[in-house]
Structure 1
């Protein structure tokens, strides 16, 4: 289903949170939406792989990497796994790597930037917790809508 975040803002301004414009677009799908699942982990993407091993069912994984610009929380292998398992997209409060390969996948990817270094693997982090960054609150089960104009969060589906 096609949508534009600008139109959703016009029609539902009182029902959406609008993220600060801090994210770049890296995935093959610039426009994506779905119920959100969350993960909080700092410079350790062990739990990201575990999340993408689950059936995505059109969900969007929101990763709070603490805004770290020192390593990448997401790369081409995880993008392929997410695509294979039916995830709609990923939003990273941090960096990704393998951006050229990720642009060839059929998922949406928004992140702060790119970095070539992978994370450490300590198996640390928290799943499905409320996150706050970019001026919005990401609550598991709420909905995210993203396109070239921005990113919105809503407690209920908008269409």
Structure 2
């Protein structure tokens, strides 16, 4: 996987101008062994409940990036060490959480890339509420299922189509 988010931005000024390429704000922290990852987005919208997150990560990822709109909540974790292992073992390229993670020492041993707002020790609720495969809003940036996510040490960009 050879790309740099800086090059993607530099090479596509028109896409940035018209909104077909967007950059997530620099509010996400990096976890997991992969600092660089990319793939098509699979989207979830949940709030302090990770039942749907687990169910999704239990399925084959086929190199996709799970984008979880957790409403920006920093009151509970939506992804922990067990879910990062599921992501790694089921072929997910990465996870972006507009919310928190926990078990960061465990996540940091997994061969997957994870971005989240921060860490929180409290686990999520388990009511099974949420929606899948819809347009979500991640820190002010819309992400639709099938959009391409590119993440590296310089940031995360969202493209309407595969660019690399």
Q: Which runs of 4+ in 1 moved over 6 A?
A: none
Residue aligning to 1:38:
43
Unaligned stretches of 5+ residues in structure 2: 16-20
How far does the alpha carbon of each residue in 1:65-121 deviate from its partner, in whole angstroms, 9 at most, with x for none?
111111100000000001100000000000000111111111110000000010110
Tell me how far 1:126 sits from its aligned partner: 0.2
Q: How high is the TM-score relative to the length of structure 2?
A: 0.95
Contact 2:101/2:116 (<8 A) preserved: yes
Given the alignment of the two structures, is residue 98 of structure 1 paired with residue 118 of structure 2, yes or no? no
Tell me how far 1:14 sits from its aligned partner: 2.4
Q: How high is the TM-score relative to the length of structure 1?
A: 0.98
- Any idea what SS the aligned residue of 1:81 has? helix
Unaligned stretches of 5+ residues in structure 1: none
Q: What RMSD in Å do the two structures reach over aligned CA positions? A: 0.8
Mean Cα deviation higher: 104-113 or 127-136: 127-136
Equivalent positions of 1:134-145 (< 5 A) are: 134-145=139-150
Tell me how far 1:134 sits from its aligned partner: 1.9
Tell me how far 1:55 sits from its aligned partner: 0.6
Residue aligning to 2:12:
12
Given the alignment of the two structures, is residue 158 of structure 1 paired with residue 163 of structure 2, yes or no? yes
Report the count of equivalent residues. 159
